[in-house]
Structure 1
Amino acid sequence: MSQQAQQGQLKRSLDLRAIVFLGLGYMTPMVVYNTFGLVSERTNGAVPTAYLVALVVMTFTAISYGKLVRAFPGAGSAYTYTREAIHPNVGFLVGWIALLGHLLFPLANVLILRLYMEYVFPDVPGWMFVVVFAVIITGSVALSMRGTSNFNGILLIYSLAVMVIFTVLISMQVSEGRGTGTLLSGAPFVGTDFDMTNIIYGATLVCFSFIGFDAVTVYAQEAKDQRVMPRAILITVLIGGAIFLLGSYFAQQRWPDVSEFAEYTGNPLPHFGFIAGGDVFMWFFTAAGFAATMASGLASHASVSRMLMVMGRKGVLPKRVFGHVSPKTHTPLTNVLIVGLVSLGAMFLDLDTVASVINFGALIAFTFMNISVIAWFAIRQGKRKNGKDIFNYIVMPVIATLLTVMLWVNLDEISLTVGFIWLGVGVIYLAFITGGFNKQPKGFDESEPVTGFNKVADEA
């Protein structure tokens, strides 16, 4: 074991390209096709515009992330930034809300895997696929916390290559008169009945596609040069957004409405592959989406299990339950099993609902991230005395805050209800652990090394 590992430090081995690849791999570019049917229905065939709105919001937020990661280079979460910039209690509640999204992300991956398999094997009950994949992923993470980072580059390149082939195939079909019948058209941006309210609602759904760009902040301690982190965050968002825009544009040209895949709006990816290139290409296309989703499932499952363990070790959650590491597997076994049980919810939930609830937590975190820029730089650091500072630390984050709030208030009723119930539980729990708010909650950051976790860290 290296001296860095013995001291609980992470090796600085990642350059800008590696960090961007990790971020894009976490975002899973092919998710644009998983949610395309749902978003196309909601926006009346204007999916690219929904992505454009979301990209603008995420770009402003990425700029805020860049400022804060520069101020707190050892941190990697909205929880930590909010705790330090605003107040520990506010930070705790932001972290609590974000935890809901972290817990549901593995469930979302199992749900997408279920939808893939239901298309290929329509006669098999969906719940069986959920159980099988939940057991496989939970068992894999329980035995080893080794992540998928070694395979992220390969999976990403394979996925992008298949997406390019898919785009060529459907473009040929459009050129032959299918869909809109033209490759260059503004139709995908206005749809069949343009309504800005529907576009904003669609943007709340496609935020799900961007989740993961902020995950690159956890690599701050492993970057060869921490100064590249703000650029890495922004580049990840811009490249990911460009992929989503192009992917949705050509798909919308081929399918101006959902009539040709109405039966598969929940996840039309396999059916798209079949329409584009027949049975053989359908298998390649589905395999690319399946592999990327499985990798994301393993990574997200391991990540939230580790996050719960850090919260347990720091005393934020009951240490006896959440801080335990199995002496046999050297993994936070209890947490892994808890996340596995949550993933079984993919038996009866739909992707629309799960994505919306995940977006509730993400948009709350993004909103307070932007507010934290104002609180830390403009208020605490006093950087508001010249035009440049006012623009950077007040005007820009205010615009970003308003944009994220715009999306947040347009989430569907179910996600708002579930989110506020979860928030209420968090307030009650915060009151309990702080003795009626008489003391500060203990701090933690999910990206930090934890004493006694070296064996797990070596495998991660």
Structure 2
Amino acid sequence: MEATNGKLKRSLKLRHLVFFGLAYMAPFTVFDTFGIVSEETSGHVPAAYILTTIAILFTAFSYSKMVTIFPSAGSAYTYTKQTLNSKLGFLVGWTAFLDYLFLPMINALLTVIYCSSVFPDVPPWIWCVGILLLTTVMNIAGMKISVSANSVMVLFQLLVAAIFVVLTIRAIIHTDTANLFTFNPFYSEQMSWSTAFTGASILALSFLGFDAVTTLSEETIEPKKNVPRGIILIALVGGLYFITVSYFMQALFPSTETLQNIEGASPEIALHIGGMLFQSVFLAGAIAACISNGLATQASAARLLYAMGRDGVLPKKLFGNVHPRYGTPIFNIVFIGILAMLALFLDLETAASFINFGAFTAFTFVNLCVIVYYFKQKNTHTVKSILVNVISPLLGISFNAYLWYNLEVGALIIGLIWVAIGIAYLIYVTKWAKVTLPDLEFEETFSGS
């Protein structure tokens, strides 16, 4: 195996980034959230997805801007540190770590739920340990292996989703052909814009993944070209996929009144349209989603820790090292795997509440970084450049502010406690501001357009 001299190995192309991002987004989330959002929006899930896609694209565009300037594994942490302030950058990275840390836990929990439903006699901890051991070993082996496995599993999920749509269309034809081409899932007289936006705030979490590819910048070939393209492609492809699948599901089930289990609506729909055989195939797709998403989330979290460790804001000897042979931050990968074992002591709702706070913090600050960096450059301010570098990120900030407004009180309290711990650690590291956090130098290539 090729030696990497203690640095992350560049081996990823654009297609690898797209599959990584889609794996992080987990195509099967469209099924997991359908029942809840359908009830919230009174049968307008596709409309909520359209709103989410449009809103997320503003933030995705901001990420694509910043990764061109700072092609680092640190993502929002690096952008904030280099654009605004090193201490603020640490706090953004610390807060965003909630997102990266608890997503592997959620995947472990979902694996336990899915597998225990089929094999109820097997102790749940076996499934939890098994999935985390699998993702840890594959991530240690190298990103190329991990991304290749992810590509296969994402393709399988998309295949199952395609069969799901075909069977749904068949069911609609046998029930009421008029529903096949109805516009009601997108808009009807009963639709409320407030509930549609509330549904959009829930569905925003389905798009986590377009930003995660920025953590792979140092392992990507031609990162300043491929990573921005990957970010936009992931957001667009993911949005189109979510809108399409949810449309046919909504056309078949305009209301949740006929569903027995709103939270578990998708397995019920799978049984309805394809019987026990397809329900089994559907379950296999769900487990594949857990594995692929587990690989992606663990890899991203390890890269964020690596960037912070390399900068010295976390113990460098532990977090800032890359294995010279495998080209991966092995300690970080194992560390994330061990922390994810806490899934054995958490429920799904508690773990999910941690994610929102960290994700929305990162999104908000990346949009802010675009604006601040633009004015720092003192370029000629044209109408086009202001639209791209001020108005667009401001819209992204506005949407994230709305998401913050809709956060549960519990998630806010937990998030603020986590931030307080980060502030205390920052004070300790900087010895009450007597020591300055180190900065990294990057080639600045921002065009201002």
C-alpha distance after superposition, 1:154-198 (max 9, x if no partner): 2222211211111111111122226x9611223223479533333
Report the CA distance shift for 1:343/1:94 in structure 2 as closer, same or farther (over 3 A). same
Contact 2:298–2:333 (CA<8 Å) still a contact in 1? no
Contact 2:26–2:289 (CA<8 Å) still a contact in 1? yes
- Range with greater deviation from structure 2 (230-239 or 427-436): 427-436
Offset of residue 442 of structure 1:
4.4
Offset of residue 365 of structure 1:
0.5
The answer for the alignment partner of 1:91 in structure 2 is 89
The answer for the alignment partner of 1:456 in structure 2 is none
The answer for the alignment partner of 2:61 in structure 1 is 63
Contact 2:16–2:147 (CA<8 Å) still a contact in 1? no
Contact 1:111–1:347 (CA<8 Å) still a contact in 2? no
* Unaligned 5+ runs, structure 1: 446-460
User: Is residue 33 from structure 1 mapped to residue 23 from structure 2 by the alignment?
Assistant: no
User: Which of 183, 188, 192 is matched with 2:185 structurally?
Assistant: 188
The answer for the alignment partner of 1:367 in structure 2 is 364
Report the CA distance shift for 1:400/1:306 in structure 2 as closer, same or farther (over 3 A). closer
- CA–CA separation in structure 1 for the residues paired with 2:290 and 2:189: 31
User: Which of 169, 172, 175 is matched with 1:174 structurally?
Assistant: 172
The answer for the alignment partner of 2:391 in structure 1 is 395
Offset of residue 375 of structure 1:
0.6
- CA–CA separation in structure 2 for the residues paired with 1:227 and 1:332: 28
Contact 2:67–2:75 (CA<8 Å) still a contact in 1? no
The answer for the alignment partner of 2:447 in structure 1 is none
Q: Equivalent residue of 2:347, what SS? A: coil
- CA–CA separation in structure 1 for the residues paired with 2:256 and 2:440: 45
Q: Give structure 1 regions of 4+ aligned residues with deviation exceeding 6 angstroms.
A: 323-327
Report the CA distance shift for 1:74/1:323 in structure 2 as closer, same or farther (over 3 A). closer
- CA–CA separation in structure 1 for the residues paired with 2:7 and 2:425: 30
Offset of residue 241 of structure 1:
0.5
- CA–CA separation in structure 2 for the residues paired with 1:74 and 1:89: 18
User: Which of 147, 150, 153 is matched with 1:155 structurally?
Assistant: 153
Contact 1:62–1:237 (CA<8 Å) still a contact in 2? yes
- CA–CA separation in structure 2 for the residues paired with 1:175 and 1:12: 47
Offset of residue 77 of structure 1:
0.2
The answer for the alignment partner of 1:431 in structure 2 is 427
Aligned amino acid, residue 7 of structure 2: G
Equivalent residue runs for 1:259-270 within 5 Å: 259-263=257-261, 265-270=262-267
User: Which of 389, 403, 412 is matched with 1:416 structurally?
Assistant: 412
C-alpha distance after superposition, 1:219-259 (max 9, x if no partner): 43422463233222111100110001111111111222333
Q: Equivalent residue of 1:35, what SS? A: helix
- CA–CA separation in structure 1 for the residues paired with 2:50 and 2:335: 38
- CA–CA separation in structure 2 for the residues paired with 1:231 and 1:322: 29
- CA–CA separation in structure 2 for the residues paired with 1:395 and 1:142: 41
User: Which of 268, 273, 278 is matched with 2:270 structurally?
Assistant: 273
Offset of residue 21 of structure 1:
2.5
User: Which of 118, 121, 132 is matched with 2:126 structurally?
Assistant: 132
The answer for the alignment partner of 1:216 in structure 2 is 213
- Give the TM-score, by structure 2 length: 0.86
- CA–CA separation in structure 2 for the residues paired with 1:74 and 1:299: 17
Contact 1:191–1:256 (CA<8 Å) still a contact in 2? no
The answer for the alignment partner of 1:451 in structure 2 is none
C-alpha distance after superposition, 1:70-129 (max 9, x if no partner): 2223455011011111111211111111001111001111222233235435x559xx42
* Unaligned 5+ runs, structure 2: 442-449
Contact 1:316–1:443 (CA<8 Å) still a contact in 2? no
- CA–CA separation in structure 2 for the residues paired with 1:203 and 1:58: 10
Over the aligned positions, Cα root-mean-square deviation in angstroms equals: 3.1
Contact 2:133–2:337 (CA<8 Å) still a contact in 1? no
The answer for the alignment partner of 1:10 in structure 2 is 9
Offset of residue 326 of structure 1:
10
Aligned amino acid, residue 298 of structure 2: H
Q: How many residue pairs are counted as aligned between the two chains?
A: 435
